[in-house]
Amino acid sequence: MRPGSGARPESRTRPGPRSQWPDGPRRRGARRSRWRRWLAAVLAGAAALVTIGALRPAPADGVGALTLVALRDVAAGEVVSADDVELVNRPGSERPATALTAPEAAVGRTAAGPIAAREVLTPERLVGGDLLAGQPSDHVALSVPVVDASSVGVRPGNRVDLYATGSGARVASDVVVLAVHDSGQTTGLGVAAPPRLTLALGPPQAAEVARGLGALEAGQSLVLAIRHPAAPGQ
């Protein structure tokens, strides 16, 4: 427009410093690049977790810890085979602290006492094949609950008599102690397991002890008496 016409000259807007455009093309590109790198790292981590979970052996059934149980009733003195056991899941409240977690821990070992189907297997319920070494071939190893075995100082190799706490009847006479399991271990139900003895018993003695155990009421155990080492069979 010509000078003197009274009109104001046309104003031009000058661009300010670059800091006035914080979301410029370069910054948007850098931000998108950072987001892509972050997303790639998250996806890689998730993929690693999925892979680890897929490689980890899945529990047999539901939530819980892998626990070895008996598939069928196993008689005292019977050798446990691979067909007698299976791994299942049991919550902590339903499994002893010493529950076995692998079949090989039980297969080939001998039942220290009668084992019921679906019962959780523990080391205390089984004995090694060499525990009966030196015993007559018809003898079996039987685990029985007793009253405070440690207080009388019973040791493997001792010969003992057993009496029922309820009736006072003698249920075993002059039997050899193979192993001593002190109390103190806690089952999954929070109950302290009673002390137990593993005994070498002939067929008649094993039957008599089994009858004596069957007559015990809940919470009862057997009382043991150690025989003098110089007077066996009395």
Query: In a structure prediction context, what are the per-residue pLDDT tens digits for the chain, which is 234 residues long?
Result: 455 555 555 555 555 554 444 556 666 667 777 777 777 777 777 666 655 555 555 444 456 899 999 999 988 778 899 999 999 999 888 888 888 999 998 998 888 778 899 999 988 778 766 677 777 888 888 888 887 666 667 887 888 888 887 777 888 888 888 888 766 544 444 455 667 888 888 888 888 888 877 777 666 678 778 776 654 444
Per-residue buried b or exposed e for 8-36, using 16+ beta carbons within 10 Å of the residue's own CB:
eeeeeeeeeeeeeeeeeeeeeeeeeeeee
224: β partners: 162
Provide the residue ranges of all domains of the chain, joining segments of one domain with +.
Answer: 57-129, 133-229
CATH architecture of 57-129: Alpha-Beta Complex (3.90)
The answer to whether residues 175 and 158 touch, using CB atoms and an 8 Å cutoff, is no
Q: What is the pTM of this model?
A: 0.45
39-79 per-position pLDDT tens digit: 777 777 766 665 555 555 544 445 689 999 999 998 877 88
